[in-house]
Amino acid sequence: MFDIKAIYEAQSVGDAVRLRLEHPEAQIIAGGSDVLVQVREGKRAGRELISIYGLDELRGVSLDGEENLRIGSLTSFSHITRDPLVQKYCGVLGEAVDQVGSPQIRNIGTIGGNTCNGVTSADSASTLHAWEAIVELTGKNGVRRVPIHDFYIKAGTVDIRGEEGELQTAILIPRASYENTFGHYIKYGMRNAMEIATLGCSVNVRLSPDKRRIERCRIAYGVAGPVPMRAPSAEAAASGAEPSLALAEDFSRAVLRDIHPRDSWRAAKDFREHIAVEMAKRALIESVRKAGGDMA
């Protein structure tokens, strides 16, 4: 059923880097919810695999010395959803990954695998972009950190330097991004479960102390282009403005200046543009509500 040439089980991050250097054509495998399907379909048939699934050092959520939210790359979706630190500081990420696949997939699938796969439809991707996440990579030259916007190069391709033995070890949400910030994620699909997103939209806001002004706003999409992307025109329209339904309309229309959806068998370009506008409006209204503001 599975055509696999060889599988190597890493004993530590350093050991995984060594195996990457010794077997440059090998594929890293964690939970396997994507890789094993691709092997079965013949896309990665006959490949060598390097399993990092046993590396518990890459699991869990914590605050680092700078109070950035640090999520180990092997942390499962279900763990992220339930984690108290995620719920406290970036609850929308837990809500987003709770919409991945089935309970079985959420128990085995990892945040690292979801991002390293490089697909624009990943349910974590738009929220991580909206919260300005940083990707931590470890290789023979030590640790390298890359803003998630730069991590995604093109559809299906991310910035991992295999020639340096790199693997993703963590994702960080900076304190400057999560502090006093509240967000909302909307996924549009043809059904409510076990569905790849036709479009995903994640918005977050930080309000002034009196709740009468949006100090900071971020919005990002999945499936609005070949890679997950922010909508800076909409962010600029909302930042510094007073919350109102009129602002929500202006904000949502502004996204059309930045997104680049395409026609596909899942949805036409003009339909994606239509729902992108509506999703932006609804997500902004809900984000402001969560932050304690009023859009009346």
Q: What pLDDT is recorded for position 40? A: 83
Q: What pLDDT is recorded for position 105? A: 87
Q: What pLDDT is recorded for position 151? A: 97
Q: What pLDDT is recorded for position 193? A: 66
Q: What pLDDT is recorded for position 37? A: 78
Q: What pLDDT is recorded for position 190? A: 76
In the chain, domain spans: 4-51, 57-176, 182-290
Domain 57-176 fold: 3.30.465
- E strands, the chain, in order: 4-9, 27-29, 47-51, 61-63, 69-72, 134-139, 142-147, 152-154, 157-158, 167-173, 182-188, 199-207, 214-222, 229-230
Q: How many other C-beta atoms can be found within 10 angstroms of the C-beta atom of residue 277? A: 20
Domain 4-51 fold: 3.30.43
Measured distance CA(16)–CA(267) in Å, rounded: 40
Beta-ladder partners of 218: 204
Two structure tokens written together for 246: 């009129």
Measured distance CA(154)–CA(133) in Å, rounded: 18
Measured distance CA(24)–CA(1) in Å, rounded: 24
DSSP secondary structure, 79-90, as one string: HHHH-HHHHHH-
CATH code reported for the domain at 182-290: 3.30.390.50
Q: What pLDDT is recorded for position 1? A: 62
Q: What pLDDT is recorded for position 223? A: 93
- For the chain of 296 residues, list the mean pLDDT of each consecutive stretch of 10: 87 97 93 82 84 96 97 97 97 94 88 92 94 98 97 94 96 97 93 80 98 97 95 97 97 97 89 97 98 92
